[in-house]
Amino acid sequence: MDAANVATVSIDGVAKLTRNNYTTNGTIAIGDQTNDPNVDGVMRIKSVTRACP
């Protein structure tokens, strides 16, 4: 998240998701967002960069 409250998720250095006016409580939560059978997700966080205090 930058100083203008724009949050960006990048994969291999390429922006894939951007949200304006983003607010956070400081918690990063990632997981499977469905209860559908046989739909599972696996993710690994390689790095987290704090852009501003």
Summarize pLDDT for 31-41 with one digit per residue, the tens: 667 778 887 77
pTM above 0.75, yes or no: no
Residue 8: Cβ within 10 Å count: 13
No. of helices (H) and no. of strands (E), the chain? 0, 2
Radius of gyration (Cα) for the chain, nearest Å? 13
pLDDT digits (tens), the chain, 53 positions: 888 989 888 888 898 889 999 888 887 777 667 778 887 777 778 888 777 76
